[in-house]
Amino acid sequence: MDKNNLSETFFADDDRVDGLAKVTGKAKFTAEFKPAGLTHAVFVCSTIAKGAIKHMNIYEAKNAPGVIDIIYYLNCPAVPGYKPVDRIANPNARDFTGLKVFHNNMVVSNGQPIALVIADTYERAVHAASLVKVEYIKEKSETDFDKNKFNDKLLKPRPEYVRNQKDAWKNAEVFLEEEYTMPVETHNPMEMHATIAVWEGGKLTVYDKSQGPKNVQGELGRIFAIDEKNVQVITEFVGGAFGSSLRSWPHVHAAVIATKKLNRPVKVTLNREQMFTMVGYRPQCWQKIGIGASKDGKLTGIAHHAVSNTSSYEDFTEGISSVSQYLYDCPNVFTTYKILPLDINTPTWMRGPGPGTGCFALESALDELSYKLNIDPIELRLINNAEVHPQSKLPWTTKFLKECYALGKEKIGWHKRPTTPGSLKEDGMLVGYGMAVGVFGAGRNPATAKGILKNDGTLLLQSAVSDMGPGTSTAMVKIGSEQMGLEEKKVRFELGDTDFPTGPTQGGSGSATAVGSAVIAVCDAIKLSLKEIAIESIAGFKNVKPENIKYEAGKLIAANNVSIHFMDLLKETGKPEVQVSKSSSSFAQRDKYATNSFSVHFVKLHVHPVTGVIKLKHMVSAADAGKIISEKTARSQMVGGAVGGIGMAMTEESLIDHRYGRYINSNFVDYHVPVHADVPPMDIVFPNQPDYIISPTGAKGIGEIALVGVAPAILNAVYNATGKRVRDLPVTPDKLI
Amino acid sequence: MINFEYTRVNSAKAAVAAKSKNVAAQFIAGGTNLVDLMKKGVTAPQRLIDINALPLKDISSDAKGLSIGTLVPNSVAAENKLVLEKYPLLAMALNAGASAQLRNMATVGGNIMQRTRCPYFYDITMPCNKRIPQSGCGAMEGYNRMHAIFGASDKCIAVHPSDMCVALAALNATVVISGTKGEKKIPFANFHRLPGDTPELDNNLQTGELITAVHIPANRFNRSYYLKVRDRLSYAFALVSVAVALEVTDGSIRSASIAMGGVAHKPWRLTEVEKYLIGKSITANVFKEAAEIGMKNAKTYQHNQFKVKMGKSAIVEALTKATS
């Protein structure tokens, strides 16, 4: 089968290859592994936001039943990688910038891990941890973003971006300037973070909830000065992560410190409260947008400013305002971005990082502009559609954004949208329609895969990636099956083990293109090997050139119509299998093309005219994600992203009491992720147009654009229903009465 | 978790006897609130007395009204035919509470006894007069969006989290109690307390006493509605809620009973509104005036000022829904 013509039709049997294991409990998640002699460890966490530990009394805890050890700053073995690197000896080495767990007595955030209690059971560790008494020298902490967001003494500016004039929007025929705010959002995957570390005979084995086992392997090797080949990281299944497992956090280091100190396997698990203070979050953000257009809707200028928070010890940035540089065709663009260090833990990438936050402001502002111009919001976007990348002037590899508008508009029934806000009622409810665009970078990272084609007709594929939920295994099985002309049930994809060939970290919607390209390269190499074996050993293939042999549905066919199935070929030549490893390189045409995935989200909702309660009625997401490899998992990703967007728009907000610098809603009762009742019927539509420039898989990536743009689509629909423009997320009922 | 003893009892008498012997003992039924509180270190009973085997799981009615055993799960009460026929308000309120899973586990008695969801009560590193008397109130100057606007004190501004209790208050229920001195009944309005100087006390149940049932008297209410305004459509506590029970004949209100949730340390009866509504006809203006009266003495804090406007809207909406 020609790789440029992967079947465009969907498989009838589209189930996840690991679906049954997941729903029957057979799938083993990190905390479920039980190496012999396993010990259980839990953290004691700081209860102040800034200062130092004056004294830690571990006496009672140490003597509690079942306690094996308590590790804290006074007895923690030195961690080699926490020392500043020798730049002369290693010019490329970088200092470790994350939280150095148990390194000293300094407290830099509330909820910081300050001791690890290791016991024979989890319950005993939890109890003993509650007995550790800590005295602090408290310093005044600052966690209030709103109070400090314009404080230039604290803010760290990133480079400004200017295209032509900074202030052109102010001179436009129609313009507006508004501010938009977003609170801290916490990833809160269902599965809480856990690490099991086993140090045995100079070899470190780590079971870790990770989006990038190879990344963890490399980091642990560096931090603990262990040769990488003696570090194995295993991540068989991940119960959601949304970015919170893109790097290894203090608990991963703590588990390794403990297993090396005790010479016993140690399991560290976080509880839900600790998920708020240790594994990142989407930073709080303030944005201001000035946007102007001519009366006929042509954008003349955008100024987009953003401030988001970071920790006191690490700079985290996610390019929030950059989206205004390229989403629409606009001659004058000015963007700034500053970060504000606060006494809280470091944020990290959360699904749709950067554009997720940036599009909330830009797409809200564009909606506001559409009402001022009296132009339909979709029409306004079409008027300003960027045919080429506005900065680089490069063409996009593919861009089917216009098709997304058309598909989604039809599905949601856009023609029923009232042009006057607050003018349509249904069953006593105010009715609103809204839409917004999402965008994210696309591309292809390097990846390696191994393929073993056996003479029993099965294909085994391996790569050291992990699958946090998008369905990587399912997609890879589909690609392998198509490439080799095998039934899907004959193909298996193994992942989540650093002993497999190097795969990329799962993030930025890049797994399908990277690993998929490696799988295609592997399959091509296997086919070539088969052809060479046939040429060498099978009479009818003698002296035929490989390129003159076709491979079809498992059969090698020479021009003279001599054919042989690969199973027969291997059996006849006495070979049990053909095994190859192949790498696929990163996307190399960045100087020729712009690369993005796009989405358009549509919302129909009801707002109770008296109580302000919103009821979503229907959502449609249309995504230009390239070729859809697996319809079911692609759809699930889109639905999951939309639910995340509902949370961003309507319910999610991590709250800190600034007197203590401490979260007060770090649990699933008070931190509201959307529940089923909040989620409306959804339609997911794809133009399903392959992008073979980015990769031979034809895919562009789905995970991020599934969420980016959902929140502004909801907010725009709320305005359409009520005439109230809410610019501060989340839009809870009190903001609409 | 701190070790504790666990015993099972088979009769109310044995339960009362067991608890009277040990002030640090607590009854456990569904455990949907108590177990959380124990895990968080908010409470550490020395002994748990499991009352699930007690024969207090019946729902029965007679001419005087309806009795619901203390161990009836919330979900069973909500689906009970007698409840649905005679007290649909209670069924509405029950179904508005918690999640389906929690309603399956939680009992009627446990629902009455559940403690506030104030975050400062739950976090043992924070001050809370309800958890540790005289330690201060974290919410007063802290994050108080969910907190009381009626009947609070300078010691505590927490709210009672129940939906069911709001309906029971509006239905003039009584709490049936077994104690060492035998059985007694406390009218619902007098069961839960306002915080005053003793916010550690949620209610007037004495040591050793066990709720055995709730009794709802027969009434002439022929219109009712439970409205709950919340941040998400399920599994969220009320920002405000309103239980309305009205007796309406020929378009005129003969009697009214209204209680609010999410606004006070106990289900908050709007007695002045109830008086005002007697003899009034069903008009938007009457409802609007009722809402003004109902919210008259509200006292708000930094983050819950919206509750006054939302409370008024909710009263109007609940009255409108009940009568339409």
pLDDT for A413: 98
The answer to whether position B111 is within a domain reads no
The answer to whether position B103 is within a domain reads no
Structural domain span for residue B35: 5-49
CATH of the domain at B256: 3.30.390.50
Nearest-Cα residue of chain B relative to residue A110: B125
Nearest-Cα residue of chain B relative to residue A616: B233
Helices and strands: H and E segment counts in chain B: 13, 12
Task: Tell if the CB–CB gap between B313 and A669 is shorter than 8 Å.
Answer: no
Q: What band does A13 get if pLDDT is binned at 50, 70 and 90?
A: low
pLDDT for A3: 38
Chain B (35-54) residues lying within 8 Å, Cβ to Cβ, of chain A: 41
Give the end of a domain, one of A383, A415, A430.
Answer: A383
ipTM of this predicted structure: 0.97
Q: In angstroms, what separates the C-alpha of A307 from chain B's closest C-alpha?
A: 24
Does the pLDDT of residue A211 top 50, yes or no? Answer: yes
> Residues of A with CB below 8 A from B2's CB?
127
Residue-wise pLDDT for A71-117, tens only, equals 999 999 999 999 999 888 888 888 999 999 999 999 999 999 999 99
The answer to whether position A181 is within a domain reads no
Residues A107 and A166 in one domain: no
* Residue B125 exposure: Cα atoms within 13 Å on the Cβ side: 19
A553-562, B54-63, B264-273: range with lowest mean pLDDT: A553-562
> Residues of A with CB below 8 A from B126's CB?
657, 660, 662, 664
Residue-wise pLDDT for B67-97, tens only, equals 999 999 999 999 999 999 999 999 999 999 9
The answer to whether position A282 is within a domain reads no
Does the pLDDT of residue A561 top 90, yes or no? Answer: no
Angle, CA A410 vertex, CA A408 and CA A416 arms, to 5°: 110
Mean pLDDT for chain A?
96
The answer to whether position A180 is within a domain reads no
pLDDT for A86: 87
The answer to whether position A251 is within a domain reads yes
Q: What band does A1 get if pLDDT is binned at 50, 70 and 90?
A: very low
pLDDT for A15: 87
Tally of domains within chain A = 4
> Residues of A with CB below 8 A from B233's CB?
613, 615, 675, 677-678
The answer to whether position A546 is within a domain reads yes
Distance CA A178, CA A170 (A): 13
The answer to whether position B15 is within a domain reads yes
Structural domain span for residue A527: 3-26+444-584
CATH of the domain at B15: 3.30.43
- Nearest by CB to A677, which of B123, B234, B316? B234
Q: In angstroms, what separates the C-alpha of A233 from chain B's closest C-alpha?
A: 32
| Residue A178, helix vs strand vs coil | strand
pLDDT for B23: 83
Residues A225 and A348 in one domain: no
pLDDT exceeding 90 applies to what percent of chain B? 98
The answer to whether position B279 is within a domain reads yes
Does the pLDDT of residue A5 top 70, yes or no? Answer: no
Tally of domains within chain B = 2
Give A197's strand partners: A206, A266
Distance CA B139, CA B238 (A): 17
The answer to whether position B56 is within a domain reads no
Residues A378 and A398 in one domain: no
The answer to whether position B267 is within a domain reads yes
Residue-wise pLDDT for A588-608, tens only, equals 999 999 999 999 999 999 999
Q: What band does B1 get if pLDDT is binned at 50, 70 and 90?
A: low
Task: Tell if the CB–CB gap between A127 and B1 is shorter than 8 Å.
Answer: yes
Residue-wise pLDDT for A318-376, tens only, equals 999 999 999 999 999 999 999 999 999 999 999 999 999 999 999 999 999 999 999 99
Chain B (144-173) residues lying within 8 Å, Cβ to Cβ, of chain A: 145
**Residue in A669, A671, A676, A714 to test binding to B, most B beta-carbons within 10 Å:** A669
pLDDT exceeding 90 applies to what percent of chain A? 96
Distance CA A711, CA B7 (A): 51
pLDDT for A4: 42
Does the pLDDT of residue A63 top 60, yes or no? Answer: yes
Residues A254 and A297 in one domain: no
Q: What band does B22 get if pLDDT is binned at 50, 70 and 90?
A: confident
Residues A415 and A472 in one domain: no
Distance CA B183, CA B215 (A): 13
Residues A212 and A111 in one domain: yes
Task: Tell if the CB–CB gap between A672 and B138 is shorter than 8 Å.
Answer: no
Does the pLDDT of residue A229 top 80, yes or no? Answer: yes
The answer to whether position A281 is within a domain reads no
**Residue in B144, B233, B300, B306 to test binding to A, most A beta-carbons within 10 Å:** B233
Q: In angstroms, what separates the C-alpha of B234 from chain A's closest C-alpha?
A: 6
Residues A244 and A130 in one domain: yes
Residue-wise pLDDT for B153-187, tens only, equals 999 999 999 999 999 999 999 999 999 999 999 99
Query: Mean pLDDT across the stretch A440-455?
Result: 97
> Residues of A with CB below 8 A from B138's CB?
657
Residues A210 and A346 in one domain: no
Q: What band does A162 get if pLDDT is binned at 50, 70 and 90?
A: very high
Distance CA B294, CA B281 (A): 18
pLDDT for A594: 98
> Residues of B with CB below 8 A from A737's CB?
306, 309-310, 313
CATH of the domain at A478: 3.30.365.10
Residues A489 and A422 in one domain: no
- Inter-residue contact B288 to B316 (CB < 8 Å): yes
pLDDT exceeding 70 applies to what percent of chain A? 98
- Nearest by CB to B239, which of A47, A650, A733? A733
The answer to whether position A449 is within a domain reads yes
Residues A411 and A489 in one domain: no
Does the pLDDT of residue A6 top 80, yes or no? Answer: no
* Residue A408 exposure: Cα atoms within 13 Å on the Cβ side: 30
Query: Mean pLDDT across the stretch B106-126?
Result: 98
Distance CA A392, CA A334 (A): 16
The answer to whether position A49 is within a domain reads yes
The 3-class secondary structure across B191-244, one letter per residue, is HECCCCCCCCCCECCCCCCEEEEEEEECCCCCEEEEEEEECCCCCCCEEEEEEE
Does the pLDDT of residue A277 top 70, yes or no? Answer: yes
